[in-house]
Amino acid sequence: MATIGDVARRAGVSKVTVSRVLNGAANVNAQTRERVEQAIRDLAYLPNLAARSLRSRQTQTIALVVPDITNVFWTTVARGVEDQAQKKGYSVLLGNTDENPEKQRSYLRAVMQQRVDGVIIAPYNRDSDTIRPLLDQKIATVLIDRKLDGLAIDSVRGDSVGGAYALVSHLIGLGCQRIAMIAGPRGASTAEERALGYCLALRQAGMQLDARWMRWGEYKAAWGEEAAAMLFAGEPKPDAIFAANNQIALGVWEYLLKRGVRVPQDVALVCFDEMADSARLFPFFTVAAQPAYAIGSAAADLLFARIQGGQDQPAQEIGMAGKLVLRASCGRLLKQAQADGALAWPGAEAEVRAIPPLNEEELKVLEACQRELAEIENV
């Protein structure tokens, strides 16, 4: 494969001049540039990025570290990142952590060896030590979706508190009395914030937070199934379930299917995150949908700004509100669906609104809720 030296020889110039043409430097004679470009075409020359990186200390590569690319939320985020990166001429290195500390560590090692210019990461918990190596090496880093404790660092997040609050308030408005929450992992900021939103909504409605209806676990379908089984083992049974993410909801659904429990006739089911193409296909889940693509591209933008801007400027934390998408899973819309006599009916997604921000009063109870939540352990 041709090197810069080959091109230089063919064009009758020095390597430096070729390098200048390659990098679009202004101080190159037009004719010289033309000769060099011709030589580049003739030899089908492609610069060796390893050599370039070694010298320039830039790899034109960023890494995206997510829990599981198989989850729609993350694939959409990834698409947002990738599109933005492509525009800027960067490549994207992809890694799945499966919410596993060991995998995350090993993956971070790999990207540090690659000397990527920056990392976009959804850390598996809120312990800032897990990304310490990145900070130590001053690698530009953007947190996505989740927070880290006591670290001012660029980040892009959805509105977990607000989304959960809106979902649970909606259930309460429908008359649900025993609203269970199947939560994510303690330690993940989104999991804690969604629990908080749940708690706030109950308080706001004058309902008690009941430890029986609150289960901490993982963002995985298997946990949703297990937790649903626990919730339906005793009496009374819940009349609504709030799943902390889409994976959990899928597991719950699986359990309900097996047991012949009908949604929404027997129990309402709502969740955080959108449900793949099911938005179009299966309009039964009421969800708090996050703007995943926008979150991904915003994170990429932030990262590129940081890469160019350096460590000086202050950290930016971007919050992106989502939408509460009301569908048949809560009883109301189902009637309409049945009236239309088919599984296919128009307008099932009609009612869509932005998540309302918490008001001052709501914010006041926040601290109390946090205290309450802190005491709940799974039985």
Partner DNA sequence: TTGTAAGCGTTATCAT
Partner DNA sequence: ATGATAACGCTTACAA
Contact status: 22 vs its own copies (CB under 8 A)? no
Contact status: 65 vs its own copies (CB under 8 A)? no
Strand bridging mode 323-325 / 286-289: antiparallel
Which of 3, 19, 32, 75 touches its own copies (CB under 8 A)? Answer: 75
The single-letter code of the amino acid at 119 is V
- CA 72 to CA 291: how far, in whole Å? 12
Residue 54 or 374: the one with the smaller Cβ distance to its own copies is: 54
Contact status: 281 vs its own copies (CB under 8 A)? yes
Which tokens go with 276?
């793949």
Binding letters toward its own copies, positions 97-126, x by CB under 8 A: ------x--xx-xxxxxxx-----------
- CA 269 to CA 180: how far, in whole Å? 10
Binding letters toward DNA, positions 87-126, x by CB under 7 A: ----------------------------------------
The 10 Å CB-count burial string (b at 16+, else e) for 49-58 is: eeebbeeeee
Angle between helix 30-43 and 15-22 (nearest 10): 90
Residue 281 or 354: the one with the smaller Cβ distance to its own copies is: 281
Which of 86, 177, 313, 378 touches its own copies (CB under 8 A)? Answer: 86
Q: Are 142 and 84 in contact (CB under 8 A)?
A: no
The single-letter code of the amino acid at 208 is Q
Subset of 45-64 contacting DNA (CB under 7 A): 45, 47-48, 51-52, 54-56
Integer CA distances (angstroms), 16 to 7, 11, 45, 105, in order: 11, 12, 15, 40
- Least distance from C-beta 54 to its own copies, angstroms? 5
Neighbours of 77 (CB within 10 A): 30
Binding letters toward its own copies, positions 283-312, x by CB under 8 A: -x----------------------------
DSSP one-letter string for 140-183: EEEEES---TT----EEEE-HHHHHHHHHHHHHHTT-S-EEEE-
Alpha carbon 39 to its chain's center? 45
Please give the size of the binding site for its own copies, defined by CB under 8 A: 68
- Least distance from C-beta 201 to its own copies, angstroms? 25
311 touches which of DNA, its own copies, none (CB within 5 to 8 A by kind)?
A: none
**Using CB under 8 A as the criterion, which residues of the chain lie in contact with its own copies when the complex forms?**
1, 44, 46-51, 53-54, 59, 61, 68-70, 72, 75-76, 78-79, 82-83, 86, 91-96, 103, 106-107, 109-115, 133, 136-137, 246, 250, 253-254, 256-258, 260-263, 265, 275-278, 280-282, 284, 341-346
